[in-house]
C-alpha cells in the first residue's frame, strides 16, 4: 500500500473563538479521499498560561469531530503538545491535526520507486499567495 506524505497543521484560535466549522470541512476532505486523519488533539492555554489538551470526545463543543473517519489517537506525544502549546498566547486554543495526504500517495510512491528524495517543501502562507495573485492580475 502506497502511503502519501504525512504532515501536521496547528490551527490557533485566539481568545478561544472556536466555531466548529472546521469539522465539516475536514469531513469533506476525508470523504473525497484527499486526506486521512491520523491524529487530532485540541490544546488550550488559560489566562495564566496553564496548558490542557483534549481529545474530541472529551468536550461537548468538540462533538462534531466524533463523526470524522480516521485513526485519531496515539501518534501525537506529550512533547509534541508542549511544543505546539508554546505558540499559543494565554486564553487561546488550537487544534493539532496529523494527516496523510492521500491525494499524493501515488506520486510519493513513484518518487520512492525512483530513489528520489524530497529535498524541501513548505506551505506558502495564504496572505503571500493572495498578494502575489493580486499583483499578477493588476500587471496583466
Flag whether 107 is in a domain. Answer: yes
Q: How many domains does the chain have?
A: 1
Domain that holds residue 132: 6-139
Distance, in Å, from the CA atom of 30 to the CA atom of 57, rounded to the nearest integer, reads 19
CA distances from residue 83 to 47, 123, 129 in whole angstroms, order as listed: 18, 20, 27
* pLDDT more than 70, % of the chain: 91
pLDDT tens, position by position, 31-76: 999 999 999 999 999 999 999 998 766 666 666 677 777 765 778 9
Q: Nearest 10 degrees: CA dihedral of 30, 58, 95, 53?
A: -140
Tens of pLDDT, residues 9-31: 999 999 888 777 888 999 999 99
Tell me if 53 is assigned to some domain: yes
Within a domain: 72? yes
pTM of structure: 0.83
Amino acid at each position: 500500500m502506497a502511503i502519501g506524505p504525512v504532515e501536521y497543521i496547528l490551527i490557533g484560535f485566539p481568545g478561544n473563538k472556536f466555531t466548529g466549522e472546521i469539522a465539516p470541512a475536514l469531513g469533506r476532505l476525508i470523504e473525497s479521499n484527499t486526506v486521512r486523519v491520523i491524529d487530532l488533539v485540541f490544546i488550550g492555554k488559560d489566562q495564566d498560561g496553564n496548558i490542557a489538551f483534549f481529545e474530541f470526545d472529551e468536550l461537548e463543543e468538540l462533538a462534531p469531530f466524533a463523526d470524522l473517519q480516521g485513526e485519531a489517537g496515539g501518534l501525537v506525544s506529550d512533547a509534541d503538545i508542549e511544543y505546539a502549546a508554546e505558540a499559543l498566547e494565554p486564553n487561546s486554543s488550537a487544534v493539532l491535526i496529523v494527516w496523510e495526504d492521500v491525494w499524493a500517495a501515488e506520486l510519493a510512491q513513484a518518487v520512492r520507486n525512483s530513489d528520489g528524495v524530497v529535498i524541501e517543501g513548505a506551505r506558502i502562507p495564504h496572505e503571500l499567495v493572495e498578494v502575489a495573485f493580486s499583483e499578477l492580475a493588476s500587471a496583466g
